[in-house]
Amino acid sequence: MNETAMKDSEKLKALGFDMTPKMPSNNWRGQKFILAGPPKSGKTDMLSEAGEAAWFVRCAKEHGHVKTFGVDCTDFYEVEKVVDKLYQAKNAGCFPWETLVIDPALRVLDYISESVIDRGREKFKSSEITDLGDIGKGTGYYMYKQALKGFLKRLEGLPCAVFLVFQIHTEERNKPGSKKETYKRDIVNISEKLGGPIREWADHILQVRQTYVGDINVRKVVTQGNMTVEAGTRNKKMPVELKWTSDSKRNYDELRAQFD
């Protein structure tokens, strides 16, 4: 910094400007993840290896095969009550969890849609409202997005990493500049219309990829996306790929080691 810049900096400090740069954080607590992959690819198993340091919001019945600590939720009201309790623990200075896992997160999106539809029926006194689009002039989708953004904002305020667990689906798209040629892309199984806020919210979109080499199931986690795979990370030190073996503890330890 030259002499003029130093003098300007001192003047700005005297005016009350904080000239201290905000440094990037690689702390595990505060990271926001989307973890997506095929069914039975080991997503829940891997996250369960955090043991008591992970609190699960279980939104489906298929968690019976693995030991997790947490609570079962069957609607958005129950999910919100869990977040309320987590905030109570935070405010009491007793928050032992490093990680919050919402699995499967697609069910929470369904819960939000259902709650908005219920509110629409009540407001417009109509039992014929069965979809967000039935709440006129885009109001249903607006209410949904506002509820989702508010929910994600609340998750941000918790002193832990947050994982939203999804499956993936394959989408066929037109190649750039062509109306006839297409290609296939594996993406998180949420629509662009309803899932936009989640993609913007996430610091990391990690996709579990698997293929067969002969009879052997070979898996990996992709952290950087391309034309055919949706993935990405704000962690500049993260490898492009992480190994994903049959050892869930090893998989968890490798991912956790990428952060402080």
SS3 assignment, position 206: strand
Nearest-angstrom CA–CA distance, 219 and 169? 17
Question: How does pLDDT run across 49-60, given as a tens digit for each residue?
Answer: 999 999 999 998
Question: Given pLDDT bands bounded at 50, 70 and 90, which one contains residue 11?
Answer: confident
More confident residue, 52 or 14: 52
Question: How does pLDDT run across 193-227, given as a tens digit for each residue?
Answer: 888 899 999 999 999 998 888 888 889 999 999 99
First-to-final CA distance of the chain? 31
- Domain segments of the chain: what residues? 27-117+152-256
pLDDT of amino acid 203: 97
Question: How does pLDDT run across 71-129, given as a tens digit for each residue?
Answer: 999 999 999 999 999 999 999 999 999 999 999 999 999 999 999 999 999 988 888 89
Pick from 2-6, 63-67, 127-131, 244-248: least confident: 2-6
Question: Given pLDDT bands bounded at 50, 70 and 90, which one contains residue 62?
Answer: confident
CATH 2.40.50 holds for 27-117+152-256: no
SS3 assignment, position 211: strand
For a pLDDT cut of 70, what percent of the chain falls above it?
99
pLDDT of amino acid 227: 93
| Tokens of residue 215, six digits | 């009879």
Cβ atoms 177, 168 nearer than 8 A: no
Average of per-residue pLDDT values in the chain: 93
Instruction: List the one residue out of 220, 108, 206, 200 whose CA is nearest residue 156.
Output: 200
Burial class (CB in 10 A: 0-12, 13-18, 19+), 136: exposed
pLDDT of amino acid 1: 55
> What pTM value is reported for the model?
0.92
Instruction: List the one residue out of 117, 176, 172 whose CA is nearest residue 144.
Output: 117
Non-local (6+) Cβ contacts of 117 within 8 A are 129, 130, 131, 132, 134, 135, 140
E strand spans, the chain: 32-36, 54-58, 70-72, 99-103, 161-166, 168-174, 182-188, 204-213, 216-222, 232-233, 241-244
Is pLDDT above 90 for 148? Answer: yes
Is pLDDT above 80 for 8? Answer: no
